[in-house]
């Protein structure tokens, strides 16, 4: 039995003063209305109505049930109206998870444009330092790497993020600039693969598509990209990172591209969510906006070298 429908039928009988009038209003047979009220009484274990040939009247318990039924039905109507609004208007809260290191280069400007265009939407941005594994439980959608995707998720591809090798001018002055990936094994490398026993970096001679794994040794390992970038700026070693994460440091002259003639494997960036079904319009609009905002990245721009270091770049 549909309990809400049974309560609505019971209320209609009271509002219209009888089973026949309620049946006409609900566009069903009188027998259906009668049976529905009888089933409701059986479910609750109480008599709700006094019946006579001329009219029906509420029992004392029926009056109490009616008061609560009105509250329940009003609450359901408000809930239905809210849900309908969520499905038809760009409004409400969208929970978005993202790796902390990628939030600024890939989300800051895009989210600013989205909330300006949709002032009735609240974006709850939740930054994570580790893998994003609770899409649907703690977030409506997540910005994540291709390696983090699960088979149960739906994913929209945003961009292939260019990756490069970088080091500070001071490090290159002290240790020399490698000319071939084989030389990386003799350099201090900053490793983002936390806890790995052995680490290799995959590079290929541009424009060839094939990549070769080259062993590297790490003087510093961390899953926190900003820690590694900061260490590289201070001369700790050679860094492999997505270009957008180091662009500011490169333009400021704090980092330089290493092995620029070699290609690193790009990082595939996606938006992931659990289901397309019954998705609020605000979530769908944000997905479309972020996909459209993921423009191809500009090539890394080097700052002019100081005169005493210019010879190192040769």
The pLDDT tens digits for 255-281 are: 999 998 898 988 888 888 876 665 788
Number of neighbours of residue 184 by Cβ within 10 angstroms? 22
* Structure-model confidence comparison of residues 151 and 224, the more confident one: 224
The CATH T-level fold of domain 163-265 is D-Maltodextrin-Binding Protein; domain 2 (3.40.190)
> Looking at per-residue confidence, does 234 or 244 come out higher?
234
Q: What is the dihedral of CA 103, 160, 266, 309, to 10 degrees?
A: -70
**Mean pLDDT over residues 93-120, rounded?**
84
Residue 99 near residue 130, CB atoms below 8 Å? no
Residue 94: pLDDT over 80: yes
Which pLDDT score, from 0 to 100, does residue 296 have?
A: 42
- Angstrom CA distances, 144 to 90, 128, 248, 292, stand at 24, 10, 22, 17
Per domain, the residue ranges of the chain are: 3-88, 95-161+268-293, 163-265
3-88 and 95-161+268-293, same CATH topology: no
- Which of 118-127, 179-188, 191-200, 295-304 is predicted least confidently? 295-304
Q: Among 105, 82, 83, 18, which residue's Cα sits nearest to residue 56?
A: 18
Q: Which residues contact 93 (CB under 8 A, 6 or more apart)?
A: 121, 122, 123, 124, 282
Q: Residue 67, exposed/middle/buried by CB under 10 A (0-12, 13-18, 19+)?
A: exposed
20/294 Cα distance (integer angstroms): 62
Domain 3-88 has CATH 1.10.10.10: yes
Taking residue 289's Cβ as centre, other Cβ atoms within 10 Å add up to 16
The average pLDDT across 242-258 equals: 91
Compute the distance between CA of residue 40 and CA of residue 45 in angstroms, rounded to an integer.
8
Place of tokens 């993020």: 161
Q: What is the mean pLDDT of the chain?
A: 79
Residue 313 in this model has a pLDDT that exceeds 60:
no
Q: Reply yes or no on domain 95-161+268-293 having CATH 1.25.40.10.
A: no
At residue 130 the predicted structure's pLDDT band, cuts being 50, 70 and 90, is: low
Residue 185, pLDDT score: 92
Segment 187-242, tens digit of pLDDT: 999 998 755 556 889 999 877 678 899 999 888 888 788 889 999 999 999 999 98
In this prediction, residues 168-188 reach a mean pLDDT of 93
């Amino acid at each position: 039995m549909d309990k809400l429908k049974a309560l609505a039928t019971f209320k209609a009988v009271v509002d219209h003063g009888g089973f026949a009038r309620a049946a006409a209003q609900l566009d069903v047979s009188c027998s259906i209305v009668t049976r529905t009220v009888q089933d409701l009484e059986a479910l609750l274990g109480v008599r709700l109505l006094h019946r006579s040939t001329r009219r029906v009247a509420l029992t004392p318990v029926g009056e109490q049930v009616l008061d609560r039924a009105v509250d329940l039905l009003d609450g359901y109507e408000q809930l239905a109206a809210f849900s309908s609004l969520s499905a038809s208007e760009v409004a409400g809260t969208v929970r978005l998870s993202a790796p902390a290191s990628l939030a600024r280069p890939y989300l800051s400007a895009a989210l600013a444009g989205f909330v300006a265009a949709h002032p009735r939407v609240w974006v709850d941005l939740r930054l994570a330092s580790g893998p994003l594994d609770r899409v649907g439980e703690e977030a409506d959608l997540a910005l994540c790497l291709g390696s983090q995707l699960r088979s149960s998720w739906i994913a929209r591809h945003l961009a292939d993020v260019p990756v490069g090798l970088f080091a500070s001018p001071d490090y290159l002055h002290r240790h020399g600039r490698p000319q071939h990936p084989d030389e990386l094994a003799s350099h201090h490398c900053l490793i983002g693969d936390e806890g790995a026993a052995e680490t290799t970096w995959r590079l290929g001679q541009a424009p060839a598509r094939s990549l070769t794994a080259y062993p590297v040794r790490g003087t510093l390992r961390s899953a926190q990209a900003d820690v590694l970038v900061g260490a590289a700026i201070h001369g700790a070693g050679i860094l492999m990172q997505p270009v957008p994460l180091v662009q500011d440091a490169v333009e400021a002259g704090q980092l330089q591209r290493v092995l620029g003639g070699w290609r690193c494997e790009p990082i595939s960036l996606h938006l992931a969510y659990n289901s397309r079904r019954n998705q609020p319009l605000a979530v769908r609009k944000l997905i479309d906006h972020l996909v459209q905002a993921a423009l191809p990245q500009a090539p890394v721009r080097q700052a002019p070298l100081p005169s005493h270091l210019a010879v190192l770049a040769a």
